[in-house]
């Protein structure tokens, strides 16, 4: 089916499909079993310039925006939902600089990230600040030409592997969410350490660690935007990045569907392929319809964002919510299609089901997405009534 992709987007899609099939597929089981960070695949993706897909050309990227990123992520995640996360989690850590960074910050960091020489990560979540992003406890106290950071961030994707971290910390606790600020912190800065690597159910090739700040001094020039802008930086970053999670979920769902269809043509019961049974045909039809509906919404969201639209929180939440729910349903149904084999690790669908679950949780649980959507609907209705 022609999805109206540009020639550049099709080239990225073909390149990612080749990398996924030739480089990622043969090693996905190994990385899932060991939980090692896939530096060899990271290098392949970096050499293919994939880390710069959505970064502007003037900073060494391809300049293909949200749509380019969505196409790349979907194609890579059809084979594995964890290994490519090194790339698009770097995008999450980069958005604060893209959206709010000074020209000096962009020149200093974006070329490094676009080249794949430096991974990035986003430090927002804490033990008591998950869905309640305004409840962060990490502090940043001004001290002359520096800020001193203290606190701990939890469940940070690319933690310990990334070189560049965008971190949200409180510069004025008395102001609540309005007292939060955003900073750039580089790996190796004295007082910046990492906690244990988490042992996860899925996306096991992706590193997830604590960030620990103990009297960590960073130059005042590492402040993103200005003091008090941290919560806005965080929310706008998540609005921009959620289509990437949606694309991850879409890719997992599409990959699970492909595996289910192929298996149904090969597996025989009662003397014929199981794809000949109407009950299973209906399952496959429903799975395929859900995948196409998710793709339509994700692509529409990406194109809307690339159009320069200002208020993207509703469509961003919608595509993340819907695609991740589809990923969970379709991957679970794929396990069912494969029956006992689907439950075994030598078949990829059980991994796809494990990988799919996180897409309903991180970058805002799907319950939070529904709240974002509803509040935007109410706001839009109130605005329409005033007119």
The residues annotated as belonging to the active site are 363
Give me the numbers of helices (H) and strands (E) for the chain, helices first please: 11, 10
Q: Are strands 180-186 and 164-170 parallel, antiparallel or unpaired?
A: antiparallel
In whole angstroms, give the CA distance from residue 323 to residue 251.
Answer: 9
Three-state secondary structure along 71-90? Answer: HHHHHHHCCCCCCCHHHHHH
Q: Integer distance in angstroms from the first to the last C-alpha of the chain? A: 41
In whole angstroms, give the CA distance from residue 314 to residue 319.
Answer: 9
In sequence order, the β-bridge partners of residue 143 are 146
Give the Å distances, CA to CA, from 17 to 67, 80, 234.
16, 11, 32
As a whole number of Å, the CA-based R_g of the chain is 21
In whole angstroms, give the CA distance from residue 349 to residue 254.
Answer: 11
């Amino acid at each position: 089916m022609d999805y109206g992709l540009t020639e550049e987007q099709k080239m990225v899609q073909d390149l990612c499909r080749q990398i996924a099939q030739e480089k990622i597929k043969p090693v996905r089981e190994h990385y899932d079993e060991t939980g090692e960070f896939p530096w060899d695949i990271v290098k392949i993706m970096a050499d293919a310039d994939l880390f710069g897909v959505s970064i502007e050309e003037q900073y060494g990227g391809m300049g293909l925006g949200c749509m380019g990123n969505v196409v790349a992520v979907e194609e890579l995640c059809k084979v594995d939902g964890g290994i490519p996360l090194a790339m698009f989690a770097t995008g999450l850590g980069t958005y604060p600089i893209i959206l709010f960074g000074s020209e000096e910050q962009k020149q200093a960091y974006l070329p490094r990230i676009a080249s794949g020489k430096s991974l990035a990560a986003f430090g927002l979540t804490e033990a008591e600040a998950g869905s309640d992003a305004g409840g962060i406890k990490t502090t940043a106290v001004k001290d002359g030409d520096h800020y001193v950071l203290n606190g701990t961030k939890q469940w940070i994707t690319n933690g310990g592997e990334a070189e560049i971290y965008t971190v949200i910390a409180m510069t004025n606790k008395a102001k609540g969410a309005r007292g939060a600020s955003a900073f750039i912190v580089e790996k190796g800065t004295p007082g910046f350490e990492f906690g244990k690597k988490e042992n996860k159910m899925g996306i096991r090739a992706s590193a997830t660690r604590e960030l620990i700040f103990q009297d960590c001094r960073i130059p005042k020039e590492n402040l993103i935007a200005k003091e008090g802008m941290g919560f806005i930086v965080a929310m706008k970053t998540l609005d921009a990045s959620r289509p990437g999670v949606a694309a991850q979920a879409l890719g997992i769902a599409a990959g699970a569907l492909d595996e289910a269809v192929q298996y149904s043509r090969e597996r025989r019961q009662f003397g014929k392929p199981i794809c000949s049974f109407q009950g299973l045909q209906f399952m496959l039809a429903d799975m395929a319809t859900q995948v196409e509906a998710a793709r339509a919404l994700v692509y529409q969201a990406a194109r809307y964002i690339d159009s320069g639209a200002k208020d993207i929180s509703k469509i961003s939440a919608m595509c993340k919510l819907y695609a991740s729910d589809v990923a969970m349903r379709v991957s679970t149904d794929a396990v069912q299609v494969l029956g006992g084999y689907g439950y075994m690790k030598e078949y990829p669908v059980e991994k796809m089901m494990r990988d799919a679950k996180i897409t309903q949780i991180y970058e805002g649980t799907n319950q939070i997405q529904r709240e974002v959507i509803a509040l935007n609907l109410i706001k839009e209705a109130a605005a329409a009534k005033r007119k």
